[in-house]
Structure formats: C-alpha cells, structure tokens
Structure 1
C-alpha cells in the first residue's frame, strides 16, 4: 500500500491548522521557492508557561535558550516526499502526546517540512530551475538552499537530520542512516563527529528492529537492521564532498545525518517516523555531551587547533584579492563567506608579506574563529585524490577562489595590518564587456529531466547572471526546419543521449528524446544547414561534444571522455584567441566527466590540458595522463562551431569560466 502524499496546498493547510491547535507548535516561513511558494518551518517547543502558546520570532526566555536546538529537513529532493509525510505524522504525535514527551523539556526542534516546494509539486528531484538542492550547499545558488543555510547559521543546531529516500542494500537491512564511508573531508573534526554519529545511527537501528511490529508488510516486519555506510560499506557513500545538507551542517558544528527511507510506501513513512522519534530520545538523553561536543568543535576553530592534522595544516589567515583584469567574483565570495557566519575584514592599507604585496582592501579571513573549518573548506585549493583507493560518490574539486576567479593565498605566519570589519556589497556579480552592436539571439537546448537531472540548468543560470536573454528549445524541435530560424547562436550543455532514438534509451526517459531514427536524421540535416547559413553552435562538456560530433556529424574531431564522476580543477593552457580573451596563458579550468579532443586537423585548437603531475590541482581523475597536452577547446575554421571539453557553467559553480561562454557567443 502506497503512502498518502498530500498536495502542497493541503500540506500547507494542515501545517497552519496544527500550529493553531497545538501550543507546542509555531509556524513561520523561512524563505520562498523559485516559483514563490513558502518554505515552512515548524518550531516544536514546550512553552515556558504551560498556559501560553509559543510565538515564533519572539525573544526566547533564558529557559528556552538552554534547550538544545535540532534541525530536521525533508523533501530536499521533491519526489522523495515520504519525509514530509512522516514529519506531518510526527506533528500529530506531538499534538497527542506533547505533555508527556520528556525530550520536549530539553530540545527545541526546527522542522523544515518541505525544503523543495516546487519539486514536491512537480514530483521532481530538482527545484523549478532544475537544480539538485542537495548538491548546492557549497555554492548556495538557489533560494531554497539559502533559506536552509540561514536557518542553520542562525540556530546553530547540535544535530541535523535530513530525511530522504529510497535506499535498501539487502532485504533484511532496510533504509540507510549515515555516517559515511571514507574518504572524509579534511575540514571535518571527524573524531568529534563520529563519537556521536555512529551511536545515534545504531540507536535508531535498534529501535526500528525493536518496533518492527508497527509495520504492516512481511518485508518490514522481518527487518534485522539498517545499512550504516561507515559500519557496513566499503566505498561509494562518502562524505568528502560537503554539497549535501547534512555534510554542510557538519562544518557548522552539527552532527549531520542523512536518513534514507527504504520505500515510499506506508511502511516507508512509518520507518522514518520511528527513526526520527528514536533519534530525538537519544539526543535528549545525551544533550549535555552533544552541546559539549559542539562547543569543542567551535573551540578548536577559535584556537586554530585541529588535533587530527599535523601542526600548520590549517593556515593562520586566508588573504583574498581580486584577480586583476579578469571576471573576478571577489565581492560575491566575500559576501558568501559573511552569509555563512565566517568573520572577515578588509585591510585599510597595503601589506607586504614574504615578498608579496597585498593591496588596500584585501579581504582577510582569520583562521582563529569558530567557523574556521567551514572557511578552510570554502577557500583551500583542495586535494588530488586520484590515487585514493576509495571510490567517491560525488565530485571533490570545488575551491571557491579558483572557481570564482579570486586570488587566495594561505598565510601561515603572523601578519600585522590595520583592518576594518567587512561590509557586504549588493553588487556581487562582475561586469562583462559590452557586446558588439550586432544583434545576437541565443537558443539553448533543454532536456527536461534526463537521468533525473536537468543538465542545462547551470547554463541557464550563467546566461541569467550575464544578462543574456535566451530561448529554450527541445531536441525534437530541431527536426523542424523553422526551429532555428529565429536564433543565430545555439548552445547545448547536456547528455548525448538527448539525441538518441527511443529504442536506444530506457523507457523511463523515452518521452524526452527523439521519436525515431528519421527524426534524428532530420535534426542532422537542419543543424548542418544552420551552420552553412552562418549560425553558430556551441557545445559544452563531453555529452554535448559527443552529440554534435558522433551523432549530428558536425565535425570529424574525436571526443574522448573520462568516467561520470571523474572531476578536477586543472591548469589549462589558453592560446591567444577571441574565445580566450581575458584569460592568462596559463590559467585554470574545471572538468566533470572530463573530455578531450583528437583528430583536430580541420579544427583550430584554442586551449589544451597542461602536462605534468602538478597540473591537476584538485579532484579525482586517476587516468589524467591520457589527456596530457590534448585539446580541450576547439573551433572550426569559420569560428561558428565551438566545442568545450571544460564544464564552464557547472551547477552555477564556475562563474570564473563564464567569460569563456560570453566570448564564444559574441566573438
């Protein structure tokens, strides 16, 4: 029997009704979704005076301030709505049993009932802009992510429980509860985290097994445990990359756990309800120790003391300056740090340190502060994990200074300079050169959810941030001769599978691809004619480059690609060309599912991968040597077919590389 998932309208009505009726509940909106829906947070707290109701946003009493704050999130992936249903049932439980619930004397709970309202409404993993919010907690490019981050920064929860679905590893061990397998992010204080994360996960498991009589199906009634990756897994569920809600919260001093329900059934909802109830009882029992652990986390930051690393692993400061003459996102980065609770300053005079001159206005991030671990995660270059024996489940190269075009220098000695507290700037996006007067009309190909993703979403965001208007087209549209008549630049950033006929792809995605081989041939003819008439085609990444060469046959160049999760920040050699204007001859690039080109005799090579072991700055690409010195940006002789092996607009994350796209459009 499937679990009953309410419409979002009914969910909102239910929340409002419960908060009116129950003195333990208060309701507030912590933000808006892309489509303007409220992101509701229910605060669960026992009033100081049993005869009164708590009021959200009012000044909290000293007694309330002594309670341990906990954050619970659900439906960050909109189609994983079981978490929202479980939390609604949890609120019912509070209404019925609140007076006798002992942990309410110790805890205050902030429940974000549905983190992704638009995804919930449209039954999609991603939000209305196509972003996977649970991959957005470093960049924080989406308003929904920003709302959750603001809540965590403000409330400083000791524990964050993030409810998801749907995972089981074997028939007797249902669901998944973190902590994760290695590799663990070096910015975590993992000894402090694991001390409480593993016992908490095992306590939830014990309670789920003990209460299996509350399930209705044989499969759930036979449960013998859950899958706890740290204990049971070998690799593939790591927490190196803190893009997810629970992992990000660990950098804010919380014990963060992702909890994956086994199914979307009624028993899957009950599983989550039992897990959350068990977690809160355990947290209440150990609240003093958990608070002490969180205090120890922040104390380590304040003292710049990190015992799991050798002395000097963390610098004493990070110094941030604009990258001269380029599309620097310096103001964007400094505001980002500030919004995440990181203290920073601006120098009021020039500083000379070890032969390097830092101009007036340099941003100084001292590393003796409570959120030093988060600052290190944001600002350090990262590590080359290519020789790691562990398999990573997500990408691991994200240095914000490198990806956002900011010079960042770690300083390991003491500096003395006059400085003032940082003040945020509203003007955070770098200006781009004014385009030439000729009219350019841009069209982009969209995929509408191939592989539960919208690969073009980063492209859309980059164009929006550069104020470049565009028209959206589907692959099927290109089968019509008139589809391209109103645009003179076509951009594709997505999977090659979008141009497969339905027989070549899983039935789940057949509505998103072409209808037939005949339609594929029509697309091929039309886009060839478009190029012949002077239209411009830009392909970004391995998938688009393969589609434009192997399937649509626009070039004889051969496209090679690495594995899906191979990713890296690298040194790139940029030739002097209109496409690379504004970049240094030796600069950086980012790859995800890396691509490189051979058989480029009829094409012009505009940029190439660096050669040598030191050219991979951070990431995971074990066989990078295959691409050493190979072409990574190419164009035909007319300049109206441009292929990028780099990911220049990845998930709103690589704003420093947007200039390459700007140049490609307007060159």
Structure 2
C-alpha cells in the first residue's frame, strides 16, 4: 500500500475513476479541440474564489466560428432594439440560437462536467450525423465546463458557505460574476440547461416548474414553451437510457416552483431564455450519460425551433420597451428613482452599490443632470433613474420591487419567496407610476462616494455606525494599532454604539485617507464624557451552510475562518487550531439530517451534512467554555444540546418541504419573508437599529422561553409584523423574542432567530452580526 500513498496526498478530492478531475480538464479540452479545431474555441472567463480557472467552450460549425461576433451583437442589439432585431431575423437566415450549458455548479454533483465533455465530443466528432450537423449550423453552444472548480477539488457543494445556485441575483461570488459578465450579458442565451444531481432511486427530473411563477418574467414566452423543450429532453433520455423522467410542471401541483429569482436557470429566464435544471439519479456512468442526453435534447429542440425561440425572446424585450403589461397591470412602474442625497436616502452607500449592480447586469440606468419633479417630489441633480420601459425590465423590477405575499396562494414553496434589494440592503428605491420629464444621461457606473473628515476638537474622533463601511474602518484602524472603542451611551448628536478612535500625530492623516476610500463621516470631538466599550477581534470559526456570515464578516475585517463540514466530520479540533469562538448558522436540513445519505443513498462515501461526529466536535468546543453565536434552527439546537442558555425555541413547520422527494419529510419548513422587528437601540447587540426595522427571515426561529440570565435585544414586532413572502402562520411569532444573549459560567452566548447575513442577501442587517462579534470581545 505504501506505493499508492501519493494518491491520498493530492490536493483534489479523489473522484470515481471514470470522472474527470478538475486538474485534468485543460488537457481534456485540448484533446477534444484537436479532434476538430475549427469547430471549438476555449476561453478562460474568470477565476474561482480560490483562483482556479473557469473554462468556457464555444462550439458551432466552421462557418459559425467565423461569425461569432455577429451572432453575439445580434443578441445584444435585440435587447435595445427588438424591432430592428426582428427585421434582421427575417432577412438573415444565419442568425443562431445561443444555448448555454452550465455544468456541476454544485461541486459534489460531479456528473455535469463529464456529461458536458461527452456532449462536446459528440458535437466535434459526429458532424456527419444530420442531427449534429443541424445543431452546429443553427446554434452556438456555450459550455461552462466546470462551474465550481473549488467545489470539485474539495468535494463540497458550495464555497465559503455560499451555494452558487442561490447566488445569481446577488452575485456575491466570482464564479457567478464571471458567468453574468462573460455569458449572460454578452450572449443573452435563448436556452439554458443547468446540470445537477442526485435523486437516487427517484426519477430523473427536468424543469419546467410548478406554480407560483414570478410575475416579473414573461411566463407565456419563457416558461410555458419550456415544457415542450423539457419533454424533448426527457425523450432523449428515455430513448437513450430507458429512464423515466419527471417534469414537475406536469406532475406536481406546487413546491417545485420557479418563483425565486436567485437560481441560475431563473436568472436566465429574466433574459428571455427557456431554462431547465436537470437532476440525474446517481454519480455514475449512467448519470454522466443522462446529463449529456438532456443537454443534447435541448440542443436538438433549439435547432429545430430556431426562429420561434428567437422570436419569443425578442418579444420579451419588445414588451419591456413598449411598456406592455398584459394581465400584470400595475406591476411595472414608469421608473424607479434612487436618490443619493442624504435627505432622501436612508443609505447612500448601498444605493450607490445597487446602481453599479444594475449596470453590471445590462440594465439601463440614467442620472439626472438637473433637479426634476416626479409625483410632487423634487429630486436633486445626481438622482439615479431606472426607466422601466427597457428590454430587461423584468430583471430590473425583480431587483427593485417590494415583493408580494404568496401565503394565500400556495401551501409549499421551494425556496426564496421574496427578494427586494431595497428592503434587504436597506436603501430607498422609489417607484414612480406617473410619467415625468427630466434631463438625463446614461450611467456606466455610480459616482464614487467619499466620506467626510472634520478635524474639530481633535484627540478623540467619532464616527457613527450608520453603514457597513463604518465597521470596516473601525476594524481596519484597530488592526493598524489605533485605540478603538464604542460608546455605551449616546452623546451630543451621536447614538449609542458610535465608534471612537484615538492615536498619535499620524491619526488625522490616516483618517483623511480613509474618508477618501470609505463612506464614513469622522468628526474630532475631544473629550466625550460617556462610558466606552473596548473592541477586541477574536478568532472565530464559522460553520454552516447556505448563509453568508463568513464572507460578510471577512469583508468587514473580522478574524473569521470558514470550517467545512467535511473537516469537522473527520475530527477537526477547533480548540487545537486556536479558535476562541464559534458561529453556527443553518436550518434543520444539512446539520441534523442528511437527506442525500439518509433517504436517497447517493452520498458515495461523503456526508454532505454535518453528521453526529462533526456535531460532537462543536459540542466539545462549546463545553470547553468557548463563546457562541447561534443563528436560526441550527444555532438554537446546538445551544440546547450543549446546554448553554436554557432557552426554548419555536420554528416554522406549517408548510410542506417542496424541495425534497415526497418520502422525505422535514421538521422545519422553508417559510420565509420580509418582517418587522423591534430592536433596542440602547442595547449593545442592536446598536444602530430601532423599532419597525425591516429584516429578511428564512426558516425563522423565535424564543418562547428566555431564561433570567439572558437579555432580549429584539422581538418580532407585535401584530402584523410579517409583510411579504411565504409564511402560513406568522401570528404565532408576533411579539416574540428573536435576538437574545447572555453569559453563563463566563461563556457568552448569542442566539438569533433570523440570519442577518443570509446568503449575503441582507447587507442591511450585517451590523447585527458585527454587534454580536464585538460583544464576544468584551
């Protein structure tokens, strides 16, 4: 056995022998290209979070390879001038359907990459087959060969706790950003296929999806027609492998919906694409071939129906530009206004970031050159305007609208039921229904915001914790050796939790430089005269899935490290690695049960969940006296098992779990929505927050019993605190504690029933977790 030891020392997770390691992909692509060089080109479109290359293979026939820019420009032009695009489509018989194949976005769903390579080989080597020739002549095939290199190398689904297939509206991860910039908004694909797995002994599954359908995309143009394409894909799998295929739209009433805009296929639907997720059965050769046949079926359908597919996609853009609403009257305003003037804007920093995000997604944004009036309000020069009569109005509206309540329409939802950047990031975007006139110019990026430094009385400098940049600056100054603390009470015009910094003669120059880079207002205040709380950054382990604590807190400058389940399951000792505190976040699924291994039998030797031996590592760490921040069901349950704070908790359990097969039942349902909480601005856990603060809650938890040794920092607001989303019985949580904390035997514990950094969707509440980390440092 010693001769084989090198196999276990390799960086990459050892996949089954008939699968392609990430490190083997470049050679595999070069070998394939050599089979028919004139039909394929290979581009590196970006890098992963750990720096690995993302490979995009472009395949079409030899004539098409010389016309790629023509086809690409046609699609981009269609967004801006659909009438001209329709005229070109009638005149030019060589305009092709761009089809995007996205492989193995979840790193442990390994069949997609090999299925994509098999598809490429078929296209390059079977050109004499009339069906292959037709596909090559009528489509441009764009293949993201390995959408998650780090996940494939590590043997895990996501990166840094972020599920890439829940990141397509937020775009917090470089792998997603690369696809949006280099594929989505360059090519505007007409068809998109996302290759996933596994359903074990269940049938292969191909979207189209159940109700409810998000009203912001044109379902009659991109959703309903996708059913026929899904049938064609299923037919290829049935003919090639004899496998049964389920299409949820034809089998299920609800629970496998395409409502949430965060998924890869759903994002592409807003660009006018027919989009499909493909779930294969097992990580084996049959699974590879299933993935290939699904993609092949989509290509055949696209080639056969080229004209009607392009017509429908162009019609999506035409409706947007003409302002046609059909049955969705009142859904689309005339425009959204995003002011940056502090008198009209809660958070100019997040507003400015949103403008850049819109532009990066191909959405038209303009800026006022002079003051103008809209619906009785005077807006100053520099106000941003997002006109809704544009080709990508559906994408723009799904980013900026307030959402809707689905609780009376369905009994199950697959995942996210509301997404509103203004509400979840905490800035103002004002819908204007009435048409108005203004002098506007197009925007390519938001004007850079700068902070303010007022030397004032000097010696001690204060800046309020009013945005996320304030936390970044405080932590940066602390790391640079300056004395930084927070006020325990308010003083003058400053609220409790204001940052104070002291230093030598070099401090003013440093603060001046920081206000050039960060949007903070720093004032010299001299003597303060109120109690101050010191800041200390502790070394914190972050554990969990489907959340954004690691990335959000890392960006803010905290000393956090992401620890993967796979390491804890193998005995990783947090204390031995120098950690002082733990953050655990998540729902029941993935921590207290592993549906892939327990019900589906497709773990292939790897537990994707945190299993009992991994959970024991966490209990050992906490029972040794280390501090803890527990978020959601996972945090409350570990608090209970480790016997920290004797609190009792309740959670959502009224809906069925739409994202699992019928035989898999979860204790906790995935109900979620926008809610109001009442926070105490005097409490160190909720500095800078107050009454009726809007938050997002996914699988919310509330505390039905709070022990005497714990304090309550925030409640769900009483009465109708739930606003938008999907929550069948919110009344049970009205007025209930949602953030509690306390100390027992010298160990600090914070429990949060909402995840303030959920999947990096919620910058408006990042500072709640920052406050908790500062509390641990006291």
> TM-score higher than 0.5 here?
yes
Q: Which of 324, 346, 360 does residue 339 from structure 1 map onto?
A: 360
Contact 2:191 2:275 in 1 (8 A): yes
- Give the structure 2 partner of residue 290 of structure 1: 309
Q: Where do 1:187-266 residues align within 5 Å?
A: 187-209=216-238, 211-212=239-240, 215=241, 220=242, 223=243, 225-266=244-285
- What do residues 116-170 of structure 1 show as CA deviations (whole Å, max 9, x unaligned)? 111122222213x232111111111111111122211110111111122223785
Partners of 2:572 and 2:282 in 1: how far apart? 40
Q: Label 1:359 to 1:465 Cα distance change in 2 as closer, same or farther (>3 A).
A: farther
Conserved 8 A contact 2:756-2:768 = yes
Q: Which residue number in structure 1 is paired with residue 635 of structure 2?
A: 544
Q: Partner residue of 1:450?
A: none
Pick aligned residue for 2:394 from 373, 395, 398 = 373
Counterpart of 1:451 in structure 2 is none
Corresponding residue for residue 178 of structure 1? 207
The partner residue of 1:645 within 753, 756, 765 is: 753
* CA deviations over 1:362-417 (Å, ceiling 9, x no partner): 22111000000001111111111122334111121221111111112211101222
Q: 1:658 aligns with which of 766, 770, 776?
A: 766
- Following the alignment from structure 2 to structure 1, what is the Cα–Cα distance between the partners of residues 194 and 101? 6
- Deviation track 1:418-468 (CA, whole Å, cap 9, x = no partner) reads 222223259699512425254513233344xxxxxx427511111122122
* Residue of structure 1 aligned with 2:189, choices 142, 157, 160: 157
Give yes or no for the alignment of 1:80 onto 2:116.
no
Which residue is equivalent to 2:166? 135
Matches within 5 A, 1:432-581: 432-433=470-471, 434=474, 436-437=484-485, 438=534, 440-447=536-543, 454-455=544-545, 458-471=548-561, 487=580, 490-494=582-586, 509=607, 512=610, 515=613, 523=621, 525-527=623-625, 530=626, 537-548=628-639, 550-562=640-652, 563-577=668-682, 578-581=684-687
Q: Cα gap change, 1:326/1:641 in structure 2, threshold over 3 Å: closer, same or farther?
A: farther
2:350 is aligned to 329
What is the DSSP-based 3-state SS (H/G/I as helix, E as strand, rest coil) of the residue aligned with 1:579? Answer: coil
Q: Which runs of 5+ in 1 are unaligned?
A: 448-453, 531-535
Partner of 2:5: none
For 1:70 and 1:330, how far apart are their aligned partners in 2? 34
Is residue 251–residue 371 contact of structure 1 (8 Å, CA) maintained in 2? Answer: yes
Q: Which runs of 5+ in 2 are unaligned?
A: 1-15, 75-91, 450-466, 476-483, 486-533, 599-604, 653-667
- Whether the aligned pair in 2 keeps the contact of 1:107 and 1:284 (CA below 8 Å) is yes
Distance 1:579 1:572, change over 3 A: same
Which whole-Å deviations, capped at 9, do the CAs of 1:242-296 have from their partners, x for residues lacking one? 2211111000011111122233232222233233223222211110111110010
Alignment of 1:272-311 (within 5 A): 272-309=291-328, 311=329
For the pair 1:396 / 2:417, whether they are aligned, the reply is: yes
Distance 2:630 2:362 in 1: 38
Decide whether aligned partners of structure 1 residues 629 and 475 sit closer, same or farther in structure 2, where only a CA change above 3 A counts.
Answer: farther
**What displacement does 1:46 show?**
1.4
- When structure 1 is superposed on structure 2, of 516-525 and 74-83 the one drifting more is 516-525
Q: 1:320 aligns with which of 306, 326, 338?
A: 338
Structure 2 SS opposite 1:164:
strand
**Residue 406 (str. 1) matches residue 389 (str. 2):** no
Q: Secondary structure at the match of 1:11?
A: helix
CA separation of 1:637/1:112 partners in 2, compared to 1, >3 Å: closer, same or farther? closer
TM-score in terms of structure 2 length: 0.74
2:468–2:766: 8 Å Cα contact kept in structure 1?
no
Q: Which residue of 1 aligns with 2:718?
A: 611
What is the distance in 1 between the residues matched to 2:185 and 2:577? 47
Query: Partners in 2 of 1:413 and 1:196 — Cα distance?
Result: 34
Taking a change above 3 Å as real, the CA distance of residues 321 and 557 of structure 1, as seen in their structure-2 partners, is farther
Count the aligned residue pairs: 630
Q: Deviations over 1:581-610 (max 9, x none)?
A: 223422111211111123336232221112
TM-score, normalising length: structure 1 = 0.86
Divergent runs of 4+, >6 A: 55-65, 426-429, 473-481, 496-502, 505-508, 516-521
